Amino acid sequence: MILAGDIGGTNTRLGIFTATRGPNHPLVTRKYPSRAYDGLEEVVRHFMGTYDVVVQRASFGVAGPIKDNRSAITNLSWVIDGDALGRTTAIGDVALLNDLEAMAYAIPNLDAAMLETINPGVPVTECVKALIAPGTGLGEVFLTWCGGRYRSHGSEGGHTEFGPRNALEMALLDYLLQFHEHVSYERVCSGMGLPNLYAFLRDTGRCPEPPGFARRLARAADPTPVIVNAALDDPKNHSICVAALKLFTAILGAEAGNLAMTVSAYSGVYIGGGIPPRIADYIRSERFLAAFQNKGRLRRMIAGIPIYLVTHPDTALMGAACHALGL
């Protein structure tokens, strides 16, 4: 019996899993508001006490960098020491993973109901898989086959320089260079990047801003869901939001294709994170696939790479369970 967790600045999700049932079928899961607790130890004690469980191992995907099994959570005052947590909770073996690395461990264990095929391609078994995940930031990881199973490898690919492909994207880069010395893909292809696309379209006069919409954005703690919801719910009256999502989709497709070529992801590219499932119709569009495959002389090669949209809502929790179960 193992404990798995997805630890974020807003919510902490915990679950109990067993080798018999596997990572797709937890015995129990529960979500806690992170800021209501002083630290992960308090949450774990409450969870284990509520369900009266004893676990032998725990893995936690955490939204923050990890060094020596220790992490300070981004957007939260918690500092988690995995070794100390194992001792104080009597779990013993506690591992901390970056949240995107945890998501990657889930990829080989996702079943058909947790994925939507965007491009069937011609998958090559036991070859490299890649995951690109625009959420608050832009995460990129890849998995290699080793010792009879897939192993995850992190990267900082989301922080590489944004490479514009046409006049519109070159104008976007010029616009953002007024405010940032370094313009990465994360600046234009993430939750923090989408408002940059909106501002570019507005400030350069390419799209009109709807009356009163600026006030809605100014009042919002996070403008990204406001832009996304307006594009999805009322596209006729929010053409600037639609244009921002179209630009976002094209950039995501291009960078997903870059990742596929960089690591030779012949087993497939997986599109995860919080934003893509919300804008699934845009990911299904020809715009996304064309940007993915527009790689000049390597177009035929990349056209054979499968693309999957990850629709499972708790991929990081599932991936942490996979890690703890040794999958």
Q: What is the CATH number of the domain that holds 65?
A: 3.30.420.40
Q: Cα torsion at 239, 244, 248, 254 (round to 10°)?
A: 80
**In the predicted structure, residue 327 carries a pLDDT above the cut 90:** no
Please indicate, yes or no, if residue 306 is contained in any of the structural domains. yes
* Assigned token pair, 294: 């527009």
Q: What is the CATH number of the domain that holds 130?
A: 3.40.367.20
Residue 44 sits in the same domain as residue 155: no
Residue 183 sits in the same domain as residue 85: no
Structural domains counted in the chain: 2
* Assigned token pair, 224: 């990204």
Residue 121 sits in the same domain as residue 76: no
Residue 266 sits in the same domain as residue 232: yes
Residue 268 sits in the same domain as residue 141: yes
* Assigned token pair, 199: 């501002």
Please indicate, yes or no, if residue 106 is contained in any of the structural domains. no
Tell me the pLDDT tens digit for each residue of 88-108.
Answer: 999 989 999 988 889 999 999
What residues contact 253, with CB distance under 8 A and at least 6 apart? Answer: 287, 288, 289, 290, 291, 292
* Assigned token pair, 160: 């590489």
Residue 116 sits in the same domain as residue 236: yes
Please indicate, yes or no, if residue 69 is contained in any of the structural domains. yes
Residue 61 sits in the same domain as residue 172: no
- In the predicted model, what is the mean pLDDT of the chain? 94
Please indicate, yes or no, if residue 205 is contained in any of the structural domains. yes
Residue 133 sits in the same domain as residue 11: no
Report residue 204's pLDDT band, with 50, 70 and 90 as the boundaries.
Answer: very high
Residue 77 sits in the same domain as residue 132: no
Q: Which residues pair with 11 in a beta bridge?
A: 33
Residue 93 sits in the same domain as residue 138: no
Residue 210 sits in the same domain as residue 95: no
Task: Summarize the confidence of residues 5-17 as an average pLDDT.
Answer: 91
**In the predicted structure, residue 5 carries a pLDDT above the cut 90:** yes
pLDDT of 250: 98
Residue 295 sits in the same domain as residue 195: yes
Please indicate, yes or no, if residue 121 is contained in any of the structural domains. yes
Q: Is 105 exposed, middle or buried (0-12, 13-18, 19+ CB in 10 A)?
A: buried
pLDDT of 302: 94
Please indicate, yes or no, if residue 125 is contained in any of the structural domains. yes
The DSSP element (H or E) to which 301 belongs, if any, is: helix 299-303
Domain boundaries, position 222: 111-311
CA atoms of 126 and 27, how far apart (whole Å): 30
AA identity, residue 69: N
pLDDT of 266: 97
